[in-house]
Amino acid sequence: MDTHQFLLALLLILLFARLFAEVATRLRIPAVLGELLAGVILGPSLFGWIEPVEALRLLAEIGIILLLFEVGLDVDVQKLARAGWRSAIVAIAGFVLPFVFGYGLTRHVFALGTLESLFVGGALTATSIGITVRVMRDIHVQNTREGQIVLGAAVLDDIFGVILLALLYEFATAGVVSLNNASKVGAFILVFFLIAPIAAKFMALVIGRLDHSTELPGLIPTAMVSLVLLFAWLAKEVGAPEMLGGFAAGLALSRRFFLPFGLSLRTDENLARRIEHQMEPIIRLFTPIFFVTVGLSLNLHAVDWHSSTIWLLTGGLLIVAVLGKLLGGLIVLSLPLASRTAVGIAMIPRGEVGLVFAELGRTSGMLSDETYAAILLVVAFTTLLSPLILKGFYARFSDAIHARSPHAHAHHGHDGDG
Amino acid sequence: MDTHQFLLALLLILLFARLFAEVATRLRIPAVLGELLAGVILGPSLFGWIEPVEALRLLAEIGIILLLFEVGLDVDVQKLARAGWRSAIVAIAGFVLPFVFGYGLTRHVFALGTLESLFVGGALTATSIGITVRVMRDIHVQNTREGQIVLGAAVLDDIFGVILLALLYEFATAGVVSLNNASKVGAFILVFFLIAPIAAKFMALVIGRLDHSTELPGLIPTAMVSLVLLFAWLAKEVGAPEMLGGFAAGLALSRRFFLPFGLSLRTDENLARRIEHQMEPIIRLFTPIFFVTVGLSLNLHAVDWHSSTIWLLTGGLLIVAVLGKLLGGLIVLSLPLASRTAVGIAMIPRGEVGLVFAELGRTSGMLSDETYAAILLVVAFTTLLSPLILKGFYARFSDAIHARSPHAHAHHGHDGDG
């Protein structure tokens, strides 16, 4: 793809993303659905105008990393810590149930191979942080109690998912499961999440000092993007997905983030505001590219629609995918039923990590074309339907959800475009 | 290059660019030199850590397009119109002299082939708008009378250069010069520059209206980048370099741009400010990538330093390159001598278009390795030296330059980082 074609592709992506997101918003549908649809329309499923070439894939990756950075910036760590054990329950149940039932269904009902079934089960485990968060932002609930539980659980099950992926990959290539390796990867990730925010906060302080003394404009955008890229790179180095590094960096710079052990590297309010202000246009520019690319990756023509197996497999996996996460939410007995249901629904969308499972399974020869298509369809359906259900659910039951949490509030603060 | 490596490459580019630009600024050297040096250090000439792969090249291209957009935003059209005939003289003289003498030297002194000599002459014609403008910004003279003349002349000679390139390319592939084709390309470009700003201004008005009615954040960054990409794409469609489209879009949205024939599509002040404010972090993020990539493209090891021909050819072409542009400035008799000299010096840096000549000449088999290296060296030397000379010249003669232009002033306005 030469420069000329690339500029046109990027132009079409930005334009269609905005157009469909705008229409979606006016129809009271989450904007992210509009952006996904833009991708489906531009991609091989309909017009076939744009291929997700490497350069677009890389921009999309930067988009999801920056989105997670912003999510981190928005996190209220104190609330997250209070939601901590609930997030853990939701994450563990929502990880184990789809994996076990996904494996069981594929292995024992559809009689596929053990490894193929493990990959299918794995693909159903991880909630898409990006899509879930975007949906919750769109309906302004990301800072409610339920939002914090879901975010924490989505972060945790992504980590679980990636560890499982490393394990299955090991299994697929070497023929044996190395529990030793898997625990090493897990330990690295744990250490990363303990150290990264402290390091990022320290660097932000240095950037803040430099910003006062430099004559050269543009320090904050280049330095902050560098910081985010550094942590994304480090995250991958220790075996986690790159976007978790973006999340860790954002978390550290959150105005509501405090270091443990009473350490007092407090970000000054003014710097935090300048960072948010200057990073916002960059984040808004890159994130739609990610969601459009997800739509571009779906090829509806690749599916043999006349086979009944594809429908049964897809239907079965979809039920597992939905019920698995729903039960994961309902299990948190200390919340009102409406809240538990909302948490369960919000956990349903699968995305990047599920697609990585499918892709890796296919390239390592573990998945048949049919199984691959079924996974993509489940990812697509959960992604397309859950926001609609969640939105409808909130429209009807938001009183019940907020009844016992008087301090929960929608945080619109810097969502406005100033 | 996988995502992981790409993120690291991008991180190193942003980090080194900032580091060296910062050091350069503190040493009172133009920041752009620091960024070029960062590229030389990261590239094959020294560490060889980063290859200018496609994805980086595309980001660099977006960087130069956005820089030209910002340049357009900053242009004072009324001043440019007043400087119009002077710009034209500087452009024509600064185009013809290096071309004729570059061709003559290569053809008759070094006895190289006709086509090879034409490519060498062509590579010396076009002043690098990007580098020249950046240098003038760094020393805060881009809005003086001299700055406007240089900018206008650089825009014009880039257009001449691209037409010449199309002509030579035609000549190299078909064996005959099609003057018919060349004049068609020229006509297209002329029409583009007459229509593009009006169209862009109209679209900006629509964006402004939408910005008031939308609930979805992020309209300005995505819509404005789309607009810039559209005009960059259109520019290439009519045969001009993409960055000229960015320039045309910026020009149209400039607060000081008025349409001809008394049409009154005036951009509202508030919108213009919001656009500048939200585009600035994006522009600051992308432009260093361009200048680092220029440095990355130089490979000092590719040159056989023991041959005397390379030194004589490089030296001869450098003299032609410097004197050609200097005479182009001195020819504008209506200005004081110091101003004419300043204009001439500012026109010296060659860049993108020169490198395109070299690249196209090499890939079409017209240039020997030695000639190719000489062109790259001349581009590098003019780029590296002219800012230093210009800076020194302004430090010494700025009184003489400003003596007869009391209204000339350095415009620092939104260079600050808020």
The answer, for A179 touching chain B at a CB cutoff of 8 Å, is no
End-to-end CA distance of chain A: 37
Residue A409 has pLDDT above 60, yes or no: no
If one compares B212 and A402, the residue with the highest pLDDT of the two is B212
**C-alpha R_g of chain A:** 21
Average pLDDT in chain A? 81
Q: Pick from A1, A2, A3 the residue to mutate for testing the B interface (most B CBs within 10 Å).
A: A3
Q: Which of B16, B12, B133 is nearest to B67 (CA)?
A: B133
Half-sphere exposure of B396 (CA within 13 A, CB side): 8
Sign of the torsion formed by the C-alpha atoms of A262, A265, A271 and A277: negative
The answer, for A220 touching chain B at a CB cutoff of 8 Å, is yes
Residue by residue, what is the 3-state secondary structure of B11-44?
A: HHHHHHHHHHHHHHHHCCCCHHHHHHHHHHHHCC
Residue B285 and residue A221: Cβ atoms within 8 Å?
A: yes
Residue A76 has pLDDT above 70, yes or no: no
Mean pLDDT, range A352-356, rounded to an integer: 73
Residue A63 has pLDDT above 50, yes or no: yes
Task: In whole angstroms, give the CA distance from residue B187 to residue B215.
Answer: 43
Asked if residues A235 and A248 have their Cβ atoms less than 8 Å apart, the reply is yes
The CA–CA distances, whole Å, from B200 to A15, B69, B254, B321 equal 15, 12, 11, 36
Task: In whole angstroms, give the CA distance from residue A209 to residue B19.
Answer: 15
Q: Which of A45, A59, A66, A65 is nearest to A11 (CA)?
A: A59
Interface of A with B in 180-219 (CB under 8 A): 210-211, 214-219
Size of interface A-B (CB pairs under 8 A): 157
Identify the closest residue of chain A to B212 by CA–CA distance.
A417
Task: In whole angstroms, give the CA distance from residue A363 to residue A317.
Answer: 21
Residue B134 has pLDDT above 50, yes or no: yes
pTM: 0.79
pLDDT band at residue A84 using 50, 70 and 90 as cut-offs: confident
Place of tokens 């918003």: A25
Query: What CATH number was assigned to the domain covering residues B3-407?
Result: 1.20.1530.20
If one compares A273 and A77, the residue with the highest pLDDT of the two is A273
pLDDT for A390-400, tens place per residue? 888 888 887 77
Asked if residues A328 and A94 have their Cβ atoms less than 8 Å apart, the reply is yes
State the pLDDT at residue B403.
55
Residue B87 has pLDDT above 80, yes or no: yes
Across the interface, which of B8, B216, B225 has its CB nearest the CB of A14? B225
The answer, for B10 touching chain A at a CB cutoff of 8 Å, is yes
Mean pLDDT, range A84-95, rounded to an integer: 91
State the pLDDT at residue A263.
47
Residue B217 and residue A416: Cβ atoms within 8 Å?
A: yes
Task: In whole angstroms, give the CA distance from residue B149 to residue B81.
Answer: 9
For residue B416, the chain A residues in CB contact (below 8 A) are 217
Interface predicted TM-score (ipTM) = 0.77
Domain ranges within chain B, ordered by starting residue: 3-407
Q: Which residues, 6 or more positions from B244, have their beta carbon under 8 angstroms from its beta carbon?
A: B68, B155, B158, B159, B189, B193, B235
Mean pLDDT, range A64-93, rounded to an integer: 80
Task: In whole angstroms, give the CA distance from residue B311 to residue A143.
Answer: 66
Top mean pLDDT of A22-31, B85-94, B211-220, B368-377 is at B85-94
Asked if residues B315 and B381 have their Cβ atoms less than 8 Å apart, the reply is no
Residue B77 has pLDDT above 70, yes or no: no
Task: In whole angstroms, give the CA distance from residue B41 to residue B292.
Answer: 9
Task: In whole angstroms, give the CA distance from residue A76 to residue A407.
Answer: 13
pLDDT band at residue A418 using 50, 70 and 90 as cut-offs: very low
State the pLDDT at residue B388.
82
Half-sphere exposure of A129 (CA within 13 A, CB side): 29
Asked if residues A312 and A376 have their Cβ atoms less than 8 Å apart, the reply is no
State the pLDDT at residue B79.
63
For residue A288, the chain B residues in CB contact (below 8 A) are 218, 222
Q: Which of A129, A84, A53, A369 is nearest to B53 (CA)?
A: A53
Mean pLDDT, range B87-96, rounded to an integer: 93
Classify residue A113 as left (phi > 0), alpha (psi -120 to 50) or beta. Answer: beta
Sign of the torsion formed by the C-alpha atoms of A199, A234, A355 and A297: positive
CATH of A3-415, one of 3.30.450.20, 1.20.1250.20, 1.20.1530.20, 3.30.43.10: 1.20.1530.20
Mean pLDDT, range B211-229, rounded to an integer: 88
Task: In whole angstroms, give the CA distance from residue B222 to residue B220.
Answer: 6
Top mean pLDDT of A4-13, A148-157, A240-249 is at A4-13
Residue B216 and residue A31: Cβ atoms within 8 Å?
A: yes
Q: What is the DSSP letter of B52?
A: -
Lowest mean pLDDT among A201-205, A363-367, A392-396: A363-367
The answer, for A111 touching chain B at a CB cutoff of 8 Å, is no
Lowest mean pLDDT among A278-292, B86-100, B120-134, B315-329: B120-134
State the pLDDT at residue B329.
92
pLDDT for B145-183, tens place per residue? 888 889 888 888 877 787 787 677 767 766 655 666 667
Residue A222 and residue B418: Cβ atoms within 8 Å?
A: no
If one compares B399 and B329, the residue with the highest pLDDT of the two is B329
Give the type of residue at A361.
G
Task: In whole angstroms, give the CA distance from residue B147 to residue B402.
Answer: 12
State the pLDDT at residue A54.
85
Classify residue B315 as left (phi > 0), alpha (psi -120 to 50) or beta. Answer: alpha
Lowest mean pLDDT among A122-136, A342-356, B394-408: B394-408
Q: Which of A12, A2, A1, A7 is nearest to A49 (CA)?
A: A12
Residue by residue, what is the 3-state secondary structure of A97-158?
A: HHHHHHHHHHHHHCCCCHHHHHHHHHHCCCECHHHHHHHHHHCCCCCCHHHHHHHHHHHHHH
Task: In whole angstroms, give the CA distance from residue B65 to residue B148.
Answer: 19
State the pLDDT at residue B1.
65
Task: In whole angstroms, give the CA distance from residue A294 to residue B55.
Answer: 19
pLDDT for B371-407, tens place per residue? 888 888 898 788 878 878 888 888 888 777 765 444 4
Residue B418, burial from CB neighbour count under 10 angstroms (0-12, 13-18, 19+) = exposed
